[in-house]
Amino acid sequence: MKFLWILFAVGALFFLRRRLMDDWRFFKSDRRAWLEDKWENWIKPLLIAAVLAVGIRTFILGPYKIPTGSMRPNLMEGDRIFVDKLSYRFREPHRGEIIVFKYPLDRKKDFVKRLVATGGETVEIQEGQVHINGSRLESPPVLLERFYYNRDDWMFGKHGQVFRVPEGHLFVLGDNSAQSSDSRNWGFVPRKDLIGRAVVIWWPPSRVRLVKDS
Domain ranges of the chain: 2-59, 66-210
**Residue 134 vs residue 16, higher pLDDT:** 134
Choosing from 113, 177, 180, 183, which is the catalytic residue? Answer: 113
On the question of pLDDT at 3 being above 70, the answer is no
- If you average pLDDT over each of 1-15, 58-72, 112-126, 142-156, which comes out highest? 112-126
Say whether 70 is catalytic: yes
The whole-number pLDDT of residue 161 equals: 96
On the question of pLDDT at 61 being above 90, the answer is no
Q: Side chain identity at 167, as an amino acid letter?
A: E
For 81-126, the pLDDT digits (tens) are 999 999 998 999 999 999 999 999 998 999 999 999 999 999 999 9
End-to-end CA distance of the chain: 49
The domain 66-210 is classified under which CATH number: 2.10.109.10, 3.30.530.20, 2.40.30.130, 3.90.550.10?
2.10.109.10
The whole-number pLDDT of residue 189 equals: 97
Provide the percentage of residues in the chain whose pLDDT is more than 90. Answer: 60
The whole-number pLDDT of residue 179 equals: 92
Mean pLDDT of the region 72-87: 93
Sheet order of strands, 163-164 included: 135-136, 129-132, 122-126, 163-164
- Give the Cα separation of 60 and 113 in Å (integer): 20
- Give the Cα separation of 40 and 62 in Å (integer): 29
Side-chain half-sphere CA neighbours of 79 within 13 A:
26
**Residue 51 vs residue 146, higher pLDDT:** 146
The whole-number pLDDT of residue 212 equals: 78
Choosing from 38, 65, 70, 85, which is the catalytic residue? Answer: 70
- Give the Cα separation of 205 and 8 in Å (integer): 29
In the three-class reduction of DSSP (H, G, I as helix; E, B as strand; rest coil), residue 192 is classed as helix
Beta-carbon contacts of residue 109 (< 8 Å; ≥ 6 apart): 102, 103
Beta-carbon contacts of residue 95 (< 8 Å; ≥ 6 apart): 115, 116, 117, 118, 137, 140, 143
DSSP 46-90: HHHHHHHHHHIIIIIEEEEE--SSTTTTTS-TT-EEEEE-SGGGT
